Structure 1
Amino acid sequence: MKKIKDLRLLASFVAIGIYLFIKEFVQDLFTPGDAVLGLTALTGLRRKVGGAKPGGNKRLYIAPVDWFQDQEFPTYEDGKLGEITGTIPLILLPTPMKFIELQCAYDSTKFSFASKGKVGSQSFEQNITFKINRMDKQAIALVTSLLNVPCVIIARGMDNINYVIGNTEVPLELEISADSGAKGSDEKFTSFTCKNDGYMHPVVPLGADVVFPVEALPAA
């Protein structure tokens, strides 16, 4: 009988020990601000009221992915933060690389993103479309130079926020087309559709203090 009581007492101590271990482990998992069971802690979002919220874009800057240093930009952490705060990793030696500016046709630049896939294997698709109202010597030279050249693009919105579309690890793939128009009143233009998927972040805005070098436009 005494042995049975001793075994029951030992089993009670073991059960209490297991309980305390599991309790401590679970508390560590659910520490506020930390990742919880693989999920990122969420923060609520208030409705934005008042102030200007214009759509559209007014500037566009493009850089081939080969002009960047060998590191990912932007990153998943930038997406979680909601903006890019660090330095843009363009190559500096032997020649500093700069974004080139494209003056697009008015009201022609638009970008978007969307999540794709089932939960557990979701990613983002990003795309941007724009056009230039030219099909001359300079336009032909530009599109020829961009053939088979993956890029990262920065679009400046009408809200004066710069948005980075694409990623150095998953750069944008360009699709280019042109139309001469059929009659004198038709528009002659060259259009660009740039897209890719598999991103772990959506389009990410640049922080207000982040600057990026831009090549001066050629003389008119």
Structure 2
Amino acid sequence: MVNFASIRANSSQKANPGGLLKLAKMSAHMFTAEWPAEADVVDGEVTGLPSAKLPVDTEWPIYAVPKDTVDFRFSNVGQKDGYTNWSHALEYDMANLTKELVVEIQKDVNNGAVYIGKARDGQWYVIGNSDNPIFPMHSGGTGKLGSDKRGTVVTAEEEGYMFPMLPLAPAVVADITFEAFA
């Protein structure tokens, strides 16, 4: 018989649900200086305010994406001594094939972005930065059957970051102005 009394429970006896509930992105061209930069990261979270590096009254657009389709990921790359850095990746769906969606997709052509997402536990995270943005790729279609997905799947992966995916400090989230849904 195995005694499990000595195994530490690092989950802190709290729920740990996956997935992101909200997704916002900002074109890297909008930033007047690098965000988040290394100086913006203190004790493992972003504390530097994005509003200090964006034009006055800039709003972050919130994307209305289907539930349970948003995923942010990170990994360390360059596994040779002195060459390690971080990779950031994302995936999300955009449902439908309307002319409005086509216009939105066109905004991503040769246009990198910084993404933030709100997790189910309320924590916001950032991937990418304005000097090394995420360049999204779209693939999609009509589907074959009535129950098939119709729309586009957005994926992206970039590397060369100084840090993994980072949480945003509460003051940073409070600093962000989100675009209201029409």
TM, length-normalised to structure 1? 0.72
Counterpart among 154, 164, 178 of residue 202 in structure 1: 164
Which is further off, 111-120 or 179-188? 179-188
Pair 1:110-2:71 in alignment: yes
Computed over aligned residues only, the root mean square deviation of the Cα atoms, in angstroms, reads: 1.7
Offset, 1:83: 0.6
Unaligned runs of 5+ in 2: 1-8
Residues 53 and 185 of structure 1, relative CA distance in 2, 3 Å threshold: closer
How many percent of aligned residue pairs carry the same amino acid? 27
Once the two structures are superposed, the pairs formed by residues 14-163 of structure 1 within 5 Å of their partners are 47-70=10-33, 72-79=34-41, 81-88=43-50, 89-93=52-56, 96-117=57-78, 118-163=80-125
Q: Which moved more, 1:82-91 or 1:100-109?
A: 82-91
CA–CA distance in 2 between the matches of 1:77 and 1:50? 34
> 2:5 is matched with which residue?
none
CA distance in 2, matches of 1:216, 1:80: 30
Residue 190 (structure 1) aligns with: 152
For 1:109 and 1:82, how far apart are their aligned partners in 2? 23
**Superposition misfits of 4+ residues, deviation over 4 angstroms:** 77-80
- Match for 2:102: what amino acid? I
- Asked if the contact 1:74/1:204 (under 8 Å) is kept, the reply is no
Indicate the structure whose relative CO is greater, using CA pairs within 8 Å and at least 6 residues apart: 2
Displacement of 1:73:
1.6
Q: Does the 8 Å CA contact 2:39/2:48 hold for their aligned counterparts? A: no
Q: Equivalent residue for 1:29?
A: none
State the distance in 2 between where 1:197 and 1:139 align.
Answer: 28
**Structure 1 spans left out of the alignment, 5+ residues:** 1-45
C-alpha displacement at 1:69, in angstroms?
1.6
Q: Hey, what's the Cα distance between the residues in 1 that align with 2:120 and 2:128? A: 20
Aligned-partner SS, 2:171: coil
Please state if 1:176 is matched with 2:138. yes
1:166 aligned onto 2:128: yes
Q: TM-score, normalised by structure 2?
A: 0.87
Deviations 1:169-218, CA, capped at 9 Å, x for gaps: 11101111112101222221211112210111111110122221111122
CA contact (8 A) 1:164 1:203 kept: yes
* Equivalent position amino acid for 2:146 in 1: G
Aligned to 2:177: 213
User: Which residue of structure 2 aligns with residue 21 of structure 1?
Assistant: none
What is the CA distance between 1:145 and its match in structure 2?
A: 1.8
